[in-house]
Amino acid sequence: MTNHLFSLIRSRIPAPGKNFIETPEGRTLSYAELVEGAGRYANALVTLGVRPGDRVAVQVEKSVAALLVYLACVRAGAVFLPLNTAYTIAELEYFIGDAEPTVVVCDPAKREGISAIAKKAGVKAVETLDPRGEGSLANKASAQPAAFDDVPRAADGLAAILYTSGTTGRSKGAMLSHENLASNSLALVDYWRFTATDVLLHALPIYHTHGLFVATNVSLFAGGSMLFLPKFDPDMVIGLLPRATAMMGVPTFYTRLLQHPGLTREATKHMRLFVSGSAPLLAETHREWQARTGHAILERYGMTETNMNTSNPYDGDRVAGTVGFPLPGVELRVADPESGRILPQGEIGVIEVKGPNVFRGYWRMPDKTAAEFRADGFFITGDLGRIDERGYVHIVGRGKDLIITGGFNVYPKEIEGEIDAIPGVIESAVIGVPHPDFGEGVTAVVVRKPDAALDERAVLAALEGKLAKFKQPKRVFFVDDLPRNTMGKVQKNILRDTHKDLYTR
Ligand code: AMP
């Protein structure tokens, strides 16, 4: 048996001397150095007591070394467990207690705090890596040989656990197998036409599926290379676009780049592909981007548990406001959330998916896992959507964001679309707030342009006649910015909490 994921990665290396990574400071890492570096880290982890199947929890700033730790885990048959750098010590206590990792790798500044909680969870070693990729683990790795015999792993062997962002209840650890990751990367390389000549501008965090698996694994599986930025910085991105061929971003990358005077046709003429995902891209952003650069952003849809499910086509219409077609090998259907009955084309329901991309279940939560799969193996995503007559999938929001007012279902996206079309509005979020008569009252939170003379009454007047009475917001509030998490997702739970007593006080 081979190591399923790493042997595929190895087999696709175009030439050992080829560059895989270049950083803005001009540091480079070739494919040979990548394999060797991962080998040294794998030896270091084994010396620290990591055995096949053990978890290695990693909460560090983005660095090339952090990617080497990921690949070291894969080669050692261990389970890579990246953690959002924003998590506090109190939050880490839950993750470390739940995952029981053998080794925790953290920023030097957090070592002391983490050591205390790691001890309780039976962690064997707490090691460090700083933003430059230096620290106690790097020192241990550099003292190790590069040669490492990859531990055999079957296709269904675990490669990683990624905790879901958990805006409702506790985060759950999604268990991802070698084949979950490999199959999705292969599908995306093909669908998006990645080759060894591609240079991906990588500005995403690497503790999340988007930056870690979609961006990095697609580059590896294509034998391409990456311009590896420590974080998203519009100036830096604009400066590097002429050397890149592709970029993957969350919608906020695109809205922020649109505010940059350096974004021109000329600056993007070397690019062949801009991909957006992790949160809905406003149709307006799609249009503005195309007008400014000539490129149609390709929007795709996925989640931690499923990797990527759908994508707009490479050739053919990339339709703004849709997430395209199911990827090859992925089955997708829309069902009634309650009964599970499969709905006819065009109707709104919960999106369910099945395929080699879909995770193996939630870590140590068999009941939660069972509750989110149908008997025929489809995973219930919790996203509400519909499939249009051309087969394009549309997402209308998360199931938990659905508003039920006076017994009627209201899909926030429909109302947000109407509000966003009002002159003077930048964007909006529509939420349901407890209401004594209606159960929930439709409530809008709006960001307006700085010079817009727009108030609550004007918004409500503009919606008159556009939306059925029950869909119209009962109240409209204005804010400077919508609360977003690091992946650009609007945190509606925060908005709901802010306004929870609105109709009941
Ligand atoms: P995560 O597990 O953090 O990747 O979040 C996955 C969720 O992000 C999905 O279940 C969707 O609700 C949302 N999402 C991802 N991509 C898109 C997209 N292109 N449009 C709308 N929502 C998206």
Per-residue burial over 273-291, b if 16 or more Cβ lie within 10 Å, else e, is bbbbbbebbbbbbbeebee
Q: How far is the CA of 301 from the centre of ligand 1 (A)?
A: 6
The whole-number pLDDT of residue 118 equals 96
- Taking the centre of ligand 1 as the mean of its atom positions, its distance from the CA of residue 227, in whole angstroms, is 25
This prediction's pTM: 0.91
358-361 LR contacts (CB < 8 Å, sep 24+): 358/180, 358/305, 358/306, 358/307, 359/174, 359/175, 359/176, 359/177, 359/180, 359/304, 359/305, 359/306, 360/156, 360/158, 360/175, 360/176, 360/177, 360/180, 361/175
The preferred substitution site among 161, 286, 301 for testing ligand 1, maximizing ligand atoms within 8 Å of CB, is 301
Atom of ligand 1 nearest to the CA of 276: 19
- For residue 299, which atom of ligand 1 is closest to its CA? 19
Residue 421: its pLDDT value, please?
Answer: 93
CA–centroid distance, 66 to ligand 1, in Å, is 24
Residues at CB less than 6 angstroms from ligand 1: 164-165, 209, 277-280, 299, 301-304, 323, 381, 383, 395, 398, 487
Question: Which residue is closest in CA terms to ligand 1's atom 10?
Answer: 303
Q: Which of 278, 299, 357, 491 is the pocket-test mutation for ligand 1 (most atoms within 8 Å of CB)?
A: 278
Atom 7 of ligand 1, nearest CA residue: 303
Quote the ligand 1 centre to 63 CA distance (angstroms): 25
Ligand 1 atom closest to Cα of residue 300: 19
Check residue 393 and give its pLDDT: 98
Q: How many helices (H) and strands (E) does the chain have?
A: 16, 24
* Ligand 1 centroid, distance to 250 Cα (angstroms): 10
Residue 174's pLDDT is: 98
Return the residue whose CA atom lies nearest to atom 20 of ligand 1.
280
Sequence-ordered list of residues with C-beta below 8 angstroms from that of 316, at least 6 positions apart, any chain: none
Q: What is the pLDDT of residue 166?
A: 62
pLDDT at 294: 98
Residue closest via CA to ligand 1's atom 1 equals 303
> Tens-of-pLDDT digits for all 505 residues of the chain?
999 999 999 999 999 999 999 999 999 999 999 999 999 999 999 999 999 999 999 999 999 999 999 999 999 999 999 999 988 898 899 999 999 999 999 999 999 999 999 999 999 999 999 999 999 999 999 999 999 999 999 999 999 999 987 655 678 999 999 999 999 999 999 999 999 999 999 999 999 999 999 999 999 999 999 999 999 999 999 999 999 999 999 998 999 999 999 999 999 999 999 999 998 998 989 999 999 999 999 999 999 999 999 999 999 999 999 999 999 999 999 999 989 999 999 999 999 999 999 999 999 999 999 999 999 999 999 999 999 999 999 999 888 888 988 878 898 998 999 999 999 999 999 999 999 888 899 999 999 999 998 999 999 999 998 888 889 999 999 999 999 988 888 999 999 999 999 998 7
CA of 434 to the centre of ligand 1 (A): 25
CA 453 to ligand 1 centroid distance, Å: 33
Q: How far is ligand 1, taken at its centre, from the CA of residue 309, in Å?
A: 10
Q: Which atom of ligand 1 is nearest the CA belonging to 174?
A: 2
Dist. CA 221 → ligand 1 center (Å)? 23
